[in-house]
Amino acid sequence: MSTGIWLVGARGNVASTAITGARAIARGVVDETGMVTGVEPMASLDLPEVDELVFGGHDIQTQSIEETAEQAHRDGGVPDRETLDAVREDLREIDDRVAIGTARQCGETIQDLSDGEATGDQSLADIVSRIRDDYATFVREHRLDRLVVVNVSSTEPPIDEPERYASLADFEAAIEDDDPNLPASTLYAYSALVDGHPYVNFTPSTGSALGGLRELAERNDTPHMGRDGKTGETLVKSALAPMFAGRNLRVLSWEGHNILGNTDGLVLEDDDNKAGKVASKGNLLEEILGYDTHNAVRIDYTPSLGDWKTAWDHIHFQGFLETKMKMQFTWEGSDSALAAPLVLDLARLVAHADEHGEGGCQPQLASFFKSPQGVDEHDLSRQLQRLYDYAERHR
Ligand code: NAI
């Protein structure tokens, strides 16, 4: 079985690191550390092998995958020189398969990143037809048995009135009517699901979250999941908050301040684009704690940091005898090195679900996301347990 991974945002940091990592694993330069599918019980599933994954994708700008990886090496040391040199030829070959996508309704900051073609005045129906052709051509030319589409493109502003697309009929009518409200991520998602390609949304953008697209996935028995990869501050939050809840330590406030410097940071500097990210980072505490607490998340662009993200969190909590206490933590991570292995994990795990006829939302993948679609559980260990149970069932 050959599996293709189509990365929407293929020339960005997360995509180029995922491709670099997969090819470096294939060439024996690095191991699978950081990949959830690299450990049991997931490692025993009949997943597509990392070294057999075939990559392609869409982007809206012309800086190549190799140039992005080179810049990431220069600015932040990830990947290292030896790894980059080992996969350089692979990156060039994959970049030749990147097609120009669409920047439709992604906000001005993203449009400014794009070249003219991606912002052209094609109708929605034409854009969808072009995206479907791009997927189909990739499948045909590489004789793929399965194609998984993963959105790792820049964060769009949240969609207005998502309830207007609650059914598939509503969504398809909106395409026919050339509805200016539909953002690019929904077009990539629709184009995947309508032809039965599994879809993963690693970003806070709308993607397959609309009712109409969930209906389509159910109808076509196609797996899909999102939204927004859980890789840093929110990952730590979802591990720590259950401790406060379990010990009946009342969280009085939880302040989080993130600074980051890559293009993701630049795009999130735009308040419209930032709104989606802040929403998806913010909503898990109440669910885990069971009560509202003062809880603010700030994200600031700090160009000199490149791909290295820092988060400071200050947790003020109350214990026995009304004693007030504090916990603070600092998280410093290479954004892309944290995200990239999860992109590979998710692609392999939705391919597995597809192989086993498990269409629709994939709740066993909740631990990978800040806002897991169709799942209210945000406690990391309980989310992971769902994945382990799934893997044990299939082993
Ligand atoms: P990036 O800015 O380096 O890459 C994004 C890529 O998407 C760029 O090459 C851009 O040209 C392309 N793009 C933008 N709009 C597009 C469109 N409409 N169609 C096709 N391509 C488009 O960003 P990075 O760091 O790679 O992050 C990618 C996404 O993953 C962001 O939405 C980010 O919020 C999300 N994410 C990243 C995490 C991490 O890095 N740890 C964690 C969770 C989510």
Phi and psi for 114 in degrees, rounded to 5? -95, 160
pLDDT band at 268 (very low <50, low <70, confident <90, very high): confident
Average pLDDT, the chain: 95
Which strand (E) or helix (H) includes residue 346?
helix 335-355
Provide the 8-state DSSP code for 329.
Answer: E
Which atom of ligand 1 is least distant from the CA of 184?
Answer: 18
Confidence band of 20 (pLDDT split at 50, 70, 90): very high
Compute the distance from residue 364 Cα to the ligand 1 centre, in Å: 24
Residue with the bigger pLDDT between 268 and 233: it is 233
Distance in Å, CA 91 to ligand 1 centroid: 18
> Of all atoms in ligand 1, which is nearest to the CA of residue 16?
26
What is the rounded average pLDDT of the residues 171-194?
Answer: 97
The Å distance, Cα 205 to ligand 1 centre, comes to 10
For residue 136, the model assigns a pLDDT of: 98
C-alpha 257 – ligand 1 centre gap (Å): 20
Residue with tokens 């949304």: 201
Q: Are 391 and 39 in contact (CB under 8 A)?
A: no
Q: Is 34 helix (H, G, I), strand (E, B) or coil?
A: coil
Ligand 1 mutation target, pool 64, 154, 299, most atoms within 8 A of CB: 154
pLDDT for position 274? 77
Give percent of the chain above pLDDT 90.
87
Which residues are within 8 A (CB) of 315 and not within 5 positions of it... i.e. 6 or more apart? Answer: 240, 244, 251, 253, 254, 326, 327, 328
Mean pLDDT of 308-312: 94
pLDDT for the residue numbered 61: 94
Distance 267 CA to ligand 1 centre (A): 9
What distance, in Å, lies between the first and last C-alpha atoms of the chain?
A: 19
pLDDT score at 281: 67
Asked if 5 and 53 touch (Cβ cutoff 8 Å), the reply is yes
Q: Which residues line ligand 1 (CB under 6 A)?
A: 8-9, 11-14, 58-61, 101-103, 106, 110, 113, 152-155, 184, 202-203, 228-229, 231-232, 262-264, 335-336, 338-339
Bridge partners of 100, per DSSP, are 59
Max avg pLDDT among 91-95, 105-109, 263-267: 91-95
User: Which atom of ligand 1 sits closest to the CA of residue 61?
Assistant: 11
Ligand 1 centroid to residue 151 C-alpha, Å = 8
Mean pLDDT, range 343-371, rounded to an integer = 98
Rounded Cα gap, residues 345 and 204, in angstroms: 18
pLDDT score of 149: 99
Q: Is the pLDDT of residue 272 over 90?
A: no
Sequence-distant (≥ 6) Cβ neighbours of residue 165 within 8 angstroms: 171, 174, 182, 186, 210, 211, 212, 213
- Does residue 278 surpass a pLDDT of 80? no
In the predicted structure, residue 114 carries a pLDDT above the cut 90: no
How close is the Cα of 58 to the center of ligand 1, in Å? 11
Ranges 34-38, 298-302, 318-322, 378-382: which has the least confidence: 298-302
pLDDT tens-digit series, residues 33-85: 999 999 999 999 999 999 999 999 999 999 999 999 999 999 999 999 999 99
**pLDDT given for residue 270 in this prediction:** 81
Q: What is the pLDDT of residue 23?
A: 98
* 40-44: long-range contacts, CB 8 A cutoff, minimum separation 24: 41/388, 41/391, 41/392, 41/395, 42/345, 42/349, 42/387, 42/388, 42/391, 44/391, 44/395
From 6, 7, 14, mutation site for ligand 1 pocket: most ligand atoms within 8 A of C-beta: 14
Whether residue 163 is predicted with pLDDT greater than 70 in this model: the reply is yes
| Whole-angstrom distance, CA of residue 116 vs CA of residue 100 | 10
pTM score above 0.85: yes
Q: Which residue has the least CA distance to atom 43 on ligand 1?
A: 229
Which pLDDT tens digit goes with each residue over 248-263? 999 999 999 999 888 8
- Residue 130 confidence (pLDDT) above 80: yes
Question: Which of 67, 130, 73 minimizes the C-alpha distance to 94?
Answer: 67
Continuous segment of H or E residues that includes residue 92: helix 81-95
Instruction: Identify the band that residue 306 occupies on the pLDDT scale cut at 50, 70 and 90.
Output: confident
* Residue bearing the CA closest to ligand 1, atom 41: 335
Distance in angstroms (rounded) separating the CA atoms of residues 21 and 84 = 9
Reading across the β-sheet that carries 324-334, which strands appear in turn?
294-301, 250-260, 308-318, 324-334
Question: Does 226 score more than 90 pLDDT?
Answer: yes
* pLDDT value of residue 282: 65
Q: Which of 37-46, 102-111, 271-280 has the lowest mean pLDDT?
A: 271-280
Contact assessment for residue 157 and residue 120, using Cβ atoms and an 8 Å cutoff = no
* Atom in ligand 1 nearest the alpha carbon of residue 15: 26
